[in-house]
Structure 1
Amino acid sequence: MSELVTGDAVVLGLRPAKLPSRALALAIDLVVVGTAFVLVSVGLAVATASLDGAASAAVSVATFLLVLVGAPIAVETLSHGRSLGKLACGLRVVRDDGGPIRFRHALVRGAMGVVEILMTLGVVASIASLVSARGRRLGDVFAGTLVVRERLPAGRAATVPPPPPWLVGRFAGLDLSAVPDELWLAVRQYLTRMHQLDAEVGRTMAGRLAGELAGWTGVPAPVGVPAAAYLAAVVNERQARDAHRMFAASVSEQMWGSEAAPAVPGAPAAHPVPVAPATPGALGAPVRPAGPGDAAAPGADRARPPATGFAPPA
């Protein structure tokens, strides 16, 4: 998962990051920032060797604030919550409601990080993360943010949960052709991870997605139906239609060959279907294949394959 599929373009599944992954990301960030701080400090020390003690102290304080505090704040603001360490570990900082962080969130996190990370060597941040149910440190609590996982291990692809039985088939007449793929992706990812979301955040997100889906279909969501159940039922209806369409196309191709497939603009020409030799007809006259000059039989273009008696899965 790379970008978020909600209206704010951030990660949808709010899967809180654990302390080990956050500690590894923080260690990478500290190594990078510490290296930059040492290099800048050495360069400024050489450049300001002729200054007095007060000026050198002012330069040192300014370097500390700009490199160790200002640089992480700028990186998190410009990258919407992804520092180098978080990028390497597949983490991101988001707001409590799932939206992207802004400068004020990064500023509060950076200011609190000076106290709970730099001055206490990360002890306060570790204790706060262990106590918090969602692994938040003090900077996250005051800023209203959360560190979440963007990448999931391979093999953990979740499936969309089925809708309640009393909603199956209820939206069979709904026009889903205008719904964009981005919205389908957002709905699918919400349904696969809704049990990992905070209850209030999940309800808000489900209501917003249901409103967008109803706007594209032109039919409002039924009154009294929970938003999550409505989304699951509509996604189930779309999957059923896709399965029915694929099944019908497969059966048609097996029975009638490529001549039964509809012409698609720009598609390569279909290979001719081999025609069996002429065999005697019902009245003893040989039946030959129709030639190029023969007139088409009336209604031939409207012919349909006979019913097989097998109903595809709905």
Structure 2
Amino acid sequence: MLTVRTPENIELSYALAGPGSRAAAYLIDFFAMAVAGQLGVNLVVSGVAVLLSGLGEDGKQWAAAIAVLMVFALYNGYFILFEWLWNGQTPGKRMLHVRVIRQGGYALRLFDTLLRNLLRAVDFLPFFYGVGLVSLLLTRDSQRLGDLVAGTLVVYQEPVETDSLLPDLSSDSEAEPPLPAAALAAVPSEVVGLVGIYLRSREEMVPRPRQEIAAELAELVRESSGLEPRTGQGLEGFLASIVRQVEPGPPWSYPPPEEAGLPS
């Protein structure tokens, strides 16, 4: 179990994915790549071979070189694109409910997935992830070499319902029923500041930590003021309404945590 502290000073716990789950996810992805590669590479190389047939032996060598480049691009591009577009998951990882995240609990960026996957070839040495497996077993957070360099972790990610986190934050404050002034005044300014920072940075968070932080902040508001979300109102909609009515203006305009005097 891994515990991290977010810039909002909230602790989150993750179960680290072990070698077994990661290997199973990789095998699923490998077979998916094999099927796609067999069809795509054969089709392209056959077409190139026909176009270069007039070059004789040189044409065959060019076709072979193109095939090698395509396999390299497919192998690396598969993981890079899926992890970037699917928020740290590939089809195999999604089936095994594991996800790649940045240290600190934040969502993966394109640079992170580029770095960790381009180093996959080193992890594969001397054969079938020899270096990577040794690194997984010896490091405290079960990280292969690519994870260590990129600053990433692979954790279990249970399916999370995010409906409660998807309010329309662009709705005008005039459409909201006003909250009791006395209750709003009871919400500490530090909590309002934390809520503003959260709303500004929420898109960088993976679903489960995002839900947990929203719940923690809503509980801080409730404890201090007694205010709770209306029926059918999402947690983020509730938090946004607090900020809008206490501090008019876009909640994402709050300063970064370090400028607000909070741990970054």
Equivalent residue of 2:113, what SS? helix
Gaps of 5+ in 1: 1-5, 153-173, 180-207, 217-230, 243-314
Question: Shift of residue 89 of structure 1?
Answer: 0.8
Equivalent residue of 1:94, what SS? strand
Amino acid in structure 1 at the alignment position of 2:142: G
Aligned residue number for residue 128 of structure 1 = 135
2:61 pairs with one of 38, 54, 59: 54
> Is the contact made by 1:73 and 1:110 (CA closer than 8 Å) also made in structure 2?
yes
Question: Shift of residue 113 of structure 1?
Answer: 0.9
Count matched residues: 175
Aligned residue number for residue 17 of structure 2 = 17
Matched, 1:110 2:117: yes
Matched, 1:212 2:218: no
TM-score, normalised to structure 1's length?
0.46
Question: Shift of residue 115 of structure 1?
Answer: 2.6
How many angstroms apart in 2 are the aligned matches of 1:15 and 1:69?
A: 27
1:79 pairs with one of 86, 91, 111: 86
Question: Shift of residue 61 of structure 1?
Answer: 2.3
**Looking at both structures, which has the greater relative contact order when contacts are Cα pairs under 8 Å and sequence separation is at least 6?**
2
Question: Shift of residue 84 of structure 1?
Answer: 0.7
How many angstroms apart in 2 are the aligned matches of 1:119 and 1:34?
A: 21
Equivalent residue of 2:49, what SS? coil
Amino acid in structure 2 at the alignment position of 1:82: Q
Q: Deviations for 1:114-144, whole angstroms, at most 9, x for unmatched residues?
A: 2323872122211111111111100000111
How many angstroms apart in 1 are the aligned matches of 2:115 and 2:85?
A: 15
Gaps of 5+ in 2: 1-5, 53-58, 160-181, 199-215, 228-264
Q: Which has the larger radius of gyration?
A: 1
Q: Deviations for 1:136-158, whole angstroms, at most 9, x for unmatched residues?
A: 10000011111111118xxxxxx
Matched, 1:69 2:76: yes
Equivalent residue of 1:101, what SS? coil
Moved over 2 A (4+): 12-15, 48-51, 117-120, 174-179, 208-211, 213-216, 234-239
How many angstroms apart in 2 are the aligned matches of 1:80 and 1:214?
A: 23
Equivalent residue of 1:16, what SS? coil
Distance change >3 Å, CA 126–CA 48, structure 1 → 2: same
Equivalent residue of 1:56, what SS? helix
Amino acid in structure 2 at the alignment position of 1:212: L
> Is the contact made by 2:80 and 2:113 (CA closer than 8 Å) also made in structure 1?
yes
How many angstroms apart in 2 are the aligned matches of 1:112 and 1:91?
A: 20
Question: Shift of residue 64 of structure 1?
Answer: 1.4
> Is the contact made by 1:113 and 1:139 (CA closer than 8 Å) also made in structure 2?
yes
Aligned residue number for residue 91 of structure 1 = 98
TM-score, normalised to structure 2's length?
0.54
Question: Shift of residue 95 of structure 1?
Answer: 0.6
